[in-house]
Amino acid sequence: MNPFIEIITQPDNIAIVIMIVMVTFFTIWGFQQAFQNDKLKASGYAVDGELDQDVDTFKPLVRIELIISLVVVLFLSIWSIAVDAPLEEIANPTITPNPAKAPWYFLGLQELLVYFDPWLAGVVLPTLIVVGLMAIPYIDINPKGNGYYTFAERKYAVIIFAFGFFILWLLLIVIGVFDRGPGWLWYWPWEEWDHQRVVFEPTRDLTQVIGIESRSIPGFIIGAIVVIGYYVAGMLLPLRHWRKNNPELLAQLGMIRYNLIMFLFVTMMSVPIKMVLRLVFLVKYVWITPWFNV
């Protein structure tokens, strides 16, 4: 059978297909309303919902809830009649399946394991994702765009969130489901999985690129400079830029907020940077220390 059909019709992966369809649909619907509101605002009209009056909850809301509930129950019933939940062989600690995949919603994190050591990919980054999400309301001080879809009034917030949500979360999940096979090697959906395949991909550490042993003292120092320098530069350069061009915004933000935003943003961007380093330049570690490797 065509490997793509095989992957896509595995019972659990039907959920991914449903996710892709639903997310696409609601993304289009959301952005379409955002652009529509932006147009209305630009020509001086009220945005969607601004002029609405109060209505009785009974019946409009209760009716729509009833209809949605029936549709959802019907949908889940059809899904459950059509597709049976998988049950593999009984658990056996001596037989490791290859690949051993986490549940699909954690495949983004499992994919990060290619680029980061487990303590970063499995513990530090997820913690920062949760902390970062909870921090959003307190660091986004733009009062506009509260209560209606808009893009123009909060461009940066929407772009950064969309990058995290669609690329770093959903795309990595889709890659984990469809493009990772035995040995966590990359397989296009139309390629057969080959359990014998070995890829000889000699990775090196960053300092080895310029000929310095990464496990030596100079390697350690250069690695530290690169990692710490990345954070310092990432947090100082925008500061200088904003001091010159937008001092009011900076004053409004205050130093605590500014530092938190930039720390989270710089950490977030380290993910795509390490992905490029690993995938394009075959660089594994940037900084090797006796206690941990980055």
Partner 1 sequence: MNSLYDKVKKNLIWKSVFRRDYRDTARNRAMAIFGNVFLHLHPVRVRESAVKLRYTWGMGGITFLAFIILTITGVVLMFYYHPTVDLAYLDMKDLEFQAPYGVISRNLHRWAAHFMVIVVMIHMFRVFMTGSYKAPRQFNWGIGVILLVLTFLLSFTGYLLPWDQLGFWAITVGTNMGAATPLIGYQGPFSEFLHITPYNDIRFALLGGAQVGGNALLRSYIWHCIAIPLISVILMFVHFWRVRKDGGISRPQH
Among 109, 264, 277, 286, binds partner 1 (CB under 8 A): 109
Closest approach of partner 1 to the CB of residue 58, in Å: 4
Quick one: 83 or 269, whose CB is closer to partner 1?
83
Residue 6 makes contact with partner 1 by CB under 8 A: no
Closest approach of partner 1 to the CB of residue 126, in Å: 9
Among 100, 127, 141, 93, CA closest to 248? 141
Catalogue the long-range contacts made by 9-14 (C-beta closer than 8 Å, 24 or more residues apart). Answer: 10/86, 11/83, 11/84, 11/85, 11/86, 12/86, 12/104, 13/104, 13/177, 14/79, 14/83
Q: Which positions ≥6 away from 2 have C-beta within 8 Å?
A: 190
Which one of 97-105, 205-213, 236-244, 275-283 is the stretch in contact with partner 1 (CB under 8 A)? 97-105
Which residues in the 133-192 window bind partner 1 by CB under 8 A? Answer: 133-134, 136-138, 140, 143-150, 154, 158, 161, 165
Which residues in the 193-212 window bind partner 1 by CB under 8 A? Answer: none
Contact between 76 and 64 under an 8 Å Cβ cutoff? The reply is no
Which one of 106-114, 199-207, 232-240, 256-264 is the stretch in contact with partner 1 (CB under 8 A)? 106-114
Among 2, 4, 5, 118, binds partner 1 (CB under 8 A): 118
Which residues in the 220-249 window bind partner 1 by CB under 8 A? Answer: none
Closest approach of partner 1 to the CB of residue 212, in Å: 23
Contact between 190 and 226 under an 8 Å Cβ cutoff? The reply is no
In 10 A of CB 256, how many CB atoms? Answer: 10
CA distance 126 to 134: 12
Quick one: 59 or 243, whose CB is closer to partner 1?
59
Tokens 């409004």 locate to: 252
Closest approach of partner 1 to the CB of residue 278, in Å: 18
Query: Residues 213-252, buried b or exposed e (16+ Cβ, 10 A)?
Result: ebeeeebbebbeeebeebeeebbeebeeebeeeeeeebee
Which residues in the 41-80 window bind partner 1 by CB under 8 A? Answer: 46-62, 64-65, 68-69, 72-73, 76-77, 79-80
Binding characters for partner 1, 7-46, by CB under 8 A (x = yes): -----x--x--xx--xx--xx-xxx-xx-----------x
Among 35, 38, 122, 128, binds partner 1 (CB under 8 A): 122
Contact between 120 and 294 under an 8 Å Cβ cutoff? The reply is yes
